[in-house]
Structure 1
Amino acid sequence: MNKQDMTKPVFSAQDVTKVYRSGDVEVHALRGVSLELFEGEMAVLLGPSGSGKSTFLNIMGGLDQATRGTVRFRDLELTACSESQLTRYRRNHVGFVFQFYNLIPSLTAWENVSLVTEIARDPMDPGEALELVGLKERMQHFPAQLSGGEQQRVAIARAIAKKPEVLLCDEPTGALDSKTGIFVLEALSRINRELGTTTALITHNAGIQRIAHRVFSFLDGRIAETRVNETRIEPADVTW
């Protein structure tokens, strides 16, 4: 990401609040969050469980709606979109990677990725996506024949195969050991670097934050601190 890209926000959130209600009980998941994410940026959303990271990511991804506030993706106001508009937004612009891989056991790695490319507007070849995440030799393997880290990389390949402008990752290394997690971070870093995909990565692992351009620390539904990494490290140098 170069300096001129910092003038082009991909996401803009202003005073975003999310309240969940159950009877008379209100749970405030977000309490006035404002931030911008820029073209080609890799951002880490850091914080403990329950701090609001996943809620905010879900609102950015069009999986949930804010109670109050405004969220924009480029010129599209997500907080004013209908369900059908949000579905179209998710399909055309966003790739998701979650902690659990959600692969179809009866399909090979190549077939799992091809499910997305069949419905995308301008997809990359499934084999190209798998090669980007270092699985060129494993394309015809079924999920049960792959390690946890390899399955997560198939999930990443599936997410990027439709060439999304944004990749949203919720604890993508949360179920992995350090060695395997580093392979996954290397795949995400490569995609961010080579494809220019704006990437937001949720983690509670403080060691991961130094691979990002910027770090947003969440606490009690707010952004407690925003930091710029003047010197970033490679995933291989992350201390788990």
Structure 2
Amino acid sequence: MKADAAISAPPIFEVSGLTKVYRTGDVEVRALNGVDLRLEAGEMAVLLGPSGSGKSTLLNIIGGLDHPTSGSVKFKGKELSGASDRELTSYRRDHVGFVFQFYNLIPSLTAWENVALITEVARHPMSASDALALVGLESRMHHFPAQLSGGEQQRVAIARAIAKNPEVLLCDEPTGALDSATGIIVLEALARVNAETGATTAIITHNAGIRKIAHRVFTFLDGRIASMETNETPVKPSEVQW
């Protein structure tokens, strides 16, 4: 019975024929040009490709930060494409955690306080202390951002994203501002969150070595998915060749 339910369960995301066109005067830019994509529950996906290939645009749309020009985006079988701004706000609040290249922490608040802000608006949050422990910062939670390294600040940002217990964790260049040793620590935190919370995790990166930690890798080019590969045995972040 459980196996049948698992087989029939819809994917976390099902994207079909997705396009996004930006217009400035007479200039038209197709950021996405007919993208089809499925992300399954609990998987870790890496999105590779050069700047301008459509990766961030896709992440913004499935994360409810932007509207597509055409095409379909479904979250757990429910259509998001035509959702109102109010509906998308609720969707982001209840289901999605974001991690960006820049940490966007509030300087006057401690790590714990930065994370606790999210728990005040989430429906079913974990405690700020538990979220920080999950990324290995239980001993640094009362430090201010200026007292933390770049990697520690990024892990606070991850803790902030997961404190709401999201079903989806969307990461746009989370290691882009970090050196290799620090980047691996951040990837270890993301892998641990994926394994322990089951949050479907998508990571945008320019670093091709990171592809090996993913269950699946999508390579973007000119607004399309040029290829998809599956890793039968994803490696640990510590084994990534930076």
Alignment TM-score > 0.5, same fold = yes
Task: Please give the TM-score of this superposition, normalised by the length of structure 1.
Answer: 0.97
Q: 2:96 matched to which residue of 1?
A: 94
Instruction: In structure 2, give the amino acid aligned to 1:192.
Output: N
Which of 187, 190, 200 does residue 198 from structure 1 map onto?
200
Map of 1:1-240 to 2, 5 A cutoff? 8-240=10-242
Q: What is the alpha-carbon distance in structure 2 between the residues aligned to residue 137 and residue 5 of structure 1?
A: 42
Aligned partner of residue 79 in structure 1, secondary structure:
coil
Instruction: In structure 1, give the amino acid aligned to 2:201.
Output: T
Q: How many residues align?
A: 238
The Cα shift of 1:156 comes to 0.2
The Cα shift of 1:8 comes to 3.7
Instruction: In structure 2, give the amino acid aligned to 1:203.
Output: T
* Distance of aligned partners of 1:6 and 1:228 in 2 relative to their CA distance in 1, 3 Å threshold: farther
- Calculate the aligned-residue CA RMSD, in Å: 1.2
The CA deviation string for residues 64-122 of structure 1, in whole angstroms up to 9 with x for no partner, is 11001000101321101000000000000000000000000000000000000011111
Q: What is the alpha-carbon distance in structure 1 between the residues aligned to residue 7 and residue 201 of structure 2?
A: 14
Task: Please give the TM-score of this superposition, normalised by the length of structure 2.
Answer: 0.96
Q: What is the alpha-carbon distance in structure 1 between the residues aligned to residue 200 and residue 79 of structure 2?
A: 18
User: Which blocks of at least 5 consecutive residues in structure 2 are unaligned?
Assistant: none
Q: What is the alpha-carbon distance in structure 1 between the residues aligned to residue 7 and residue 219 of structure 2?
A: 22
The Cα shift of 1:172 comes to 0.2
Instruction: In structure 1, give the amino acid aligned to 2:12.
Output: V
Q: What is the alpha-carbon distance in structure 2 between the residues aligned to residue 211 and residue 191 of structure 1?
A: 13
User: Which blocks of at least 5 consecutive residues in structure 1 are unaligned?
Assistant: none
Which runs of at least 4 in structure 1 moved beyond 6 Å after TM superposition?
A: none
Q: What is the alpha-carbon distance in structure 1 between the residues aligned to residue 127 and residue 204 of structure 2?
A: 28
The Cα shift of 1:230 comes to 1.2
